[in-house]
Each structure stands twice: as structure tokens, then as C-alpha cells.
Structure 1
């Protein structure tokens, strides 16, 4: 049986647990928010028996304060298991920052709602309740000076596997007549480039075919456009990565998504692959448009034969 990994995300309310669990989800962890600690051993046994999930991250905080006292005992039991590796990630921030975050979000601290105490007093009480758990944490992160993207970057750096890819580039070709990709970060319109559709021998092919690719990329307009675009992308893409994005989507569109956009998408994909990025190139509309083009070609040939 493979070793099972559990990361328990806990700490001060408002210190960034939501950002943390989302980051672990991006790393491929099975994530659970706010499971009562007394259900943890049963859940863990089910995971061990299934063998399908080996990495789990879960948030446990004072929303389950009636069960919170049991958490230390549960963790102690799991620590003694040879096939379980458990770590506690404890997030905290200074009082001033926590108060500021609650004011900004206009939410109440979990301990201030029922007891009708001030936010500052609720924070002090929470610190006391979490004191023992904090001493058991393997990783303690003060997020007072951190922006969400910085916390995300910290988690990616310290919890990602060495070979694991945490950022990728998706290059998509599409046809404007089929609509824009709704998840694109960058959209470029290449309908101004010379169109292989009007060359009889290239009409039924796609931009992934060498003849069409060479035709598109050999045009002076294409070379100028590509050089300017790649210069822009070389500047933007590292910025997306620094900002904490897990994915940058570059969409290249022409009329039908069969010729020009496909060729440019392939070229852009090659460029970023050479720069050691994880790249996925896909052509959203190439098959549907090619079918329409081939039907039209067959229809035109049929009409031409009939006229003879």
C-alpha cells in the first residue's frame, strides 16, 4: 500500500485558509473543508481501503469548535500509523491585520457572533484555544504581510512534488463564427492575414498540415505579426505566473478556426515548449469547420460536373 499524505490546514480565522485549500486543490489534493475531527479516523480508513486517493488536505477550524478538543487526540493516533504521513499547516496573522480583514470583508469573527464580544477579544480567545495546536504544527506561516498570490506561491513551493507542474500554458485556435473562448486570458484576431481557404489545394487542409503551415508563416504579414505577438507574450506570461495563476490561456482566432489560427497556435506552442513551459495546444473548431469546407468543395465539384 502506498503511503497516504494528509495536510491539516488550520489556524486563525481570517489568516488565509480559503486561499490555502484552493492552492492544495490545484496541486491535486483531495480537499475537504471543515470536517469534524471525530469523523476523521473513519474517513481516513475509507481512503486507505479505496487506495484511489493518496493526498488529502482538509480545513479544520473553530467553526467546529465543539469538536475541536478532539483534534489533538485524533492527530496523535494518526501520527502513530506507519502508512500515514500527516502535517499541520498553521496560518496566523497579527491582530491589526486580522481586524482589518474582518472590517474589509464585513464578516463577523466566529467567536464574536454567539458571544457578542468584540473582534479583538474574539481573536485573543481564539489564540488561546489554538495555542496547543500551534505548538504541534510542522509548518507555521504568518500571512500578515502576504497577499493571496504570495501565500499561494509559498504553498506551491513547499508542498508541490519536485516534478509537479504548477503552471501551464494553453494555446487554443478557434473560429470567430463559432464564438469566443470564454476562459481566454489573451485573444488575438488573425483574420487580417492572407487566407489559405482561397487556394484550391489548401482549402480542405488545416493549419497543422505542413503545406498550410508553411503558407501562413511565410507571409510577410504573418512574420511581422508573430514577432510582435511573441514579444508581448514573453512579457505577459511570466507575469501571469508570478501573480499566482495556475493556467494562462492564449486564444488565436480566424474566421473558421481551420487554417490561419491553427498555424499560429502551433507556432506559439512550439515557442513556449522550447522555453521549458508546460504547453497544451488544442484546436477547438478545426474539425467542425473542415467538415463544412469539404462538404462545400464536394458540392461545388458536383455542381461543376452537372453544368458540363
Structure 2
């Protein structure tokens, strides 16, 4: 039993709870958190989350930054993650929940590539196990602070994203990921805003630009020099700047702004880079990531 009269945790105790679908990349997220100084407890029984948080707070030092990784395969896993998070908050902690997800088709390929069965499939198919796990995790996903869709990320891209999200800046500030993507590869599952850059002329149809991408000066200058491009970036930079304080007051710490074009190579990449730069100029923590660059 916990003593409610004990000293509340210090404000600098940083807790991250990592959960998500099997095969989604939790292990990579855990290693990335270790890289930026977190003490990582893997496969922690959910019932011990509060005990672990209090131990971390008392220990101080490296344990001030603690990540707890929950696995549905654990016999002690419970579907009431939301209740466990509330218990942490009631004790004065400010946990941030990261949910790692991926498309069913991608998960099936990953399990098949390593010749493993899904932990919940029993005598059924892989798809049955994935569906059962999604049901168990539905409420946890709905209440996550940040959802990372790893469907189109390799290990290094996922590691970089986690390191950029949790590496060293004030954890209470809103952090914006401006994610470029190609509509023909599908919408990002983790997008809070989706912007469509297809109203701009496509550099693909300019022979000298076709083989280049939006990170290169020639393509960027072409895209940003088109009528309406500057206003497009300014409008969304102003919108995000105006709403960022409200998001922070409401406890939202991560915002994903997805910018799409047809293939995710030219227009969306250039716009994403420019928008992230404009946000940084406004003192908003932002970085650009390019989901589909290099797929063509």
C-alpha cells in the first residue's frame, strides 16, 4: 500500500511508458531511449509501474529519466493501462505514453520474416493474433501521448525519431514532427494534421529536377518559388504557432503534421523542411522527417 502523505515526486523525474503492438518496434524504441540517457525497464508488469516510478524518483541520478516497456505477452499485462497511468498522475508523476503501431500487412511480413508466431494467435492465423492484440490495446492507443507508426520506418529512422523526440530538450514543451509522405503509399496513421501539397506543380515533370528530391536546393527553390507556396507554409506555421500554447496547456507534448504529395519525393519534402525551419524560427521545437523519400 502506498502512503499518500509521502513527499510528492520531483518535477524533474521523467517517466516514459512504451507499449504497442507486437512486431511494431518496441525493442528499437527502448534502445533509442537508452541512447539518450533513459534507464529502461523492459517487460515490466503493469502492477509494478507505480512502485518503479517511486523507486526512480527516490534513486535520482540516471534513474531520473526512466522508461517502462510493457509487453502484452507478459502474464501480468492488464488492459487497464489508462488506470495505471492515472495512478501515476495521482501521485504527482507526469508519464508520457508512447504507442508503437504498424499496418497489419507489415506486421505479418515481419513475423513471417523471422518465422515467429504471434503471441496471441494460439492455433489460429497471424492475423487472428494481431486482431486480438489490437482489441486489448485499443484504449491504450486512444490515450497515448504519441503514436509512432513504424510501417514505413527502418530501424535507423525509428531510432532517430525517438532520439529527436526525447533527447535533451525541455520535456514539457510541445515537439512538432513535420512528416513528408506520398499519398500513393497511404496516409500516416499518426498524423494530427494532414496538409496536401499537390496543388503545386510537380517537379517530377521537369526533366532536370526529376531525379533530385526536395532536400536539394534546386528542387526546394522550384517548389517554394511557385505561386501560393509561401502563403501555404506561412498559414500553417501561424496556425501551429497559435495553437501550440493551448496544446501545451492541455498536456499534449507531441504533434505530427503530415505534408503529402503524390510520391513523397519533391513537393512534400521541400514544404516539410521549410515548415519545420519556420517553426524553429518561432521557437517551437520542430524537425522534419521524410517517410517515403527513396522509395521510388
Give TM-score, length-normalised by structure 2: 0.52
1:263-303: per-residue Cα shift (whole Å, max 9, x none)?
A: xxxxxxxxxxxxxxxxxxxxxxxxxxxxxxxxxxxxxxxxx
Equivalent residue number for residue 6 of structure 1 = 15
Q: CA RMSD in A?
A: 1.6
Equivalent residue number for residue 62 of structure 1 = 72
1:191-247: per-residue Cα shift (whole Å, max 9, x none)?
A: xxxxxxxxxxxxxxxxxxxxxxxxxxxxxxxxxxxxxxxxxxxxxxxxxxxxxxxxx
Answer yes or no: is the 8 Å Cα contact 2:43–2:71 preserved in 1.
yes
1:95-135: per-residue Cα shift (whole Å, max 9, x none)?
A: 110000001111111102xx211101110111111100001
Secondary structure in structure 1 of the residue aligned to 2:91: coil
Answer yes or no: is the 8 Å Cα contact 1:3–1:85 preserved in 2.
no
Displacement of 1:155: 0.6
Answer yes or no: is the 8 Å Cα contact 2:14–2:64 preserved in 1.
yes
Answer yes or no: is the 8 Å Cα contact 1:5–1:56 preserved in 2.
yes
**Residue-pair matches, total:** 160
The answer to whether 1:138 aligns with 2:138 is no
Whole-angstrom distance in 2 between the partners of 1:24 and 1:143: 16
Whole-angstrom distance in 1 between the partners of 2:11 and 2:147: 27
Answer yes or no: is the 8 Å Cα contact 2:15–2:53 preserved in 1.
no
Equivalent residue number for residue 73 of structure 1 = 83
Answer yes or no: is the 8 Å Cα contact 1:20–1:155 preserved in 2.
yes
Answer yes or no: is the 8 Å Cα contact 2:44–2:71 preserved in 1.
no
Answer yes or no: is the 8 Å Cα contact 1:91–1:142 preserved in 2.
yes
Equivalent residue number for residue 36 of structure 2 = 27
Whole-angstrom distance in 2 between the partners of 1:69 and 1:97: 24
Unaligned runs of 5+ in 2: 1-9, 171-296
Answer yes or no: is the 8 Å Cα contact 1:9–1:17 preserved in 2.
yes
Answer yes or no: is the 8 Å Cα contact 1:38–1:70 preserved in 2.
no
Equivalent residue number for residue 96 of structure 2 = 87
Q: 36, 55, 58: which is aligned to 1:49?
A: 58
Answer yes or no: is the 8 Å Cα contact 2:46–2:76 preserved in 1.
no
Displacement of 1:90: 0.4
Whole-angstrom distance in 2 between the partners of 1:14 and 1:161: 28
Equivalent residue number for residue 207 of structure 1 = none
Equivalent residue number for residue 105 of structure 2 = 96
Whole-angstrom distance in 2 between the partners of 1:104 and 1:86: 34
Whole-angstrom distance in 2 between the partners of 1:70 and 1:38: 10
Whole-angstrom distance in 1 between the partners of 2:113 and 2:68: 26
Relative distance call for 1:50 and 1:162 in structure 2 (3 A) is closer
Unaligned runs of 5+ in 1: 164-308
Secondary structure in structure 2 of the residue aligned to 1:90: strand
Displacement of 1:8: 0.8
Whole-angstrom distance in 2 between the partners of 1:50 and 1:116: 45
Displacement of 1:72: 2.3
Query: Aligned ranges for residues 148-227 of structure 1 at < 5 Å?
Result: 148-162=155-169
Whole-angstrom distance in 2 between the partners of 1:65 and 1:150: 31
Whole-angstrom distance in 1 between the partners of 2:120 and 2:64: 34
